[in-house]
Every structure is written in structure tokens, then in C-alpha cells.
Amino acid sequence: RLPVGMGDMLAQARGMGVGMVVAHQHLGQLGDQMRRDVLANVGSRVVFQTTADDSRILARDFEPHLTPSDLRGLGHREIAVRIATPDQILPPFTGRTEPPQPAVSDPTIVKARSPQLYGSAVAKPEDGGMPDAPVGRRKRNRGQP
């Protein structure tokens, strides 16, 4: 459970410039309040082919560039995208996603590829990776000279 409601969390994240990924297959999966919170607070959107009901709701953020019919008519791996920057909402556009990569289940190959895909170099002290000052809080001198 979250210490705050999802709506509050989304609003606070937006206010602080924190990016979040919220994914669902259709708006019916979200309760009424959650749907309102997501639609009000999520600026950038990537939409795959939608149902008639969802396309009417989502198209409001894509019009006049894309219509409900356009969202319903997206093909396999086609997307409609709306990007919100700190300064503006860019005109929506369509695109295609990359096909999935072939599955790899050989542990040796997975282990070899992992550092290439997800690794980063470890900083050395001479590279500026270590702080110049001690880490942690300094003790206060409480009334002592």
C-alpha cells in the first residue's frame, strides 16, 4: 500500500518533475478516480490500438491531429505519441515500435550480455568518483570550545 493516494502521488511527482511510467491495457482496468487522476496528471502518452470507448476519451489529448478513428485504426506495433516537455505539449505523432528481440535462455549468453546492456564503469578515486569530504554528518560541538 502507498502512504498517499495514487492521485496525490501523480500530482506531486508532476510538480517535482519526477518521471513515472503508468501502464494499463485499457481504461476500464482503472477505477473512476484513478482514471481521472491518470488522465489529469500524466502528460506524455504512448497509445497502442484502442477500443471505441477508450479512443473517444484518449483522442481528446490528440485532436485535432488524431481522431478516435485514428487511435482505433492503429496497426500491429503502431503507436500514437503525445510528449509533454516542461515548456509545452508537442504535436502528437504516430510511429512504430521495434519488434521484440529473440528470447535468450542460455545463462552463459545472458551473463555475457548483461554488463554490455546494463553495466557501467566503476568510478576510481583518481577519476573523481570519491568525495573530497568525509561522508556522513559532522558532530556538533555543543558548547565546548
- What's the total number of domains in the chain? 1
21 assigned to some structural domain: yes
137 assigned to some structural domain: no
Each residue's pLDDT tens digit, 113-127? 888 888 877 765 565
- Whether residue 142 is predicted with pLDDT greater than 60 in this model: the reply is no
**Which domain, by its residues, includes 30?**
6-96
114 assigned to some structural domain: no
Reported as type and span, the H/E element at residue 46 is strand 45-47
Given this model, what pLDDT does residue 138 score?
A: 54
Q: Give the global pTM.
A: 0.67
Residue of 2, 1, 15 whose CA lies nearest to 43: 15
Each residue's pLDDT tens digit, 38-57? 888 888 999 999 999 999 99
- Whether residue 128 is predicted with pLDDT greater than 60 in this model: the reply is no
37 assigned to some structural domain: yes
89 assigned to some structural domain: yes
**CA-based angle 129:131:137, to the nearest 5?**
145
Buried/exposed 33-50: b ≥16 CB within 10 Å, e otherwise: ebeebbeebbeebebebb
- Whether residue 135 is predicted with pLDDT greater than 70 in this model: the reply is no
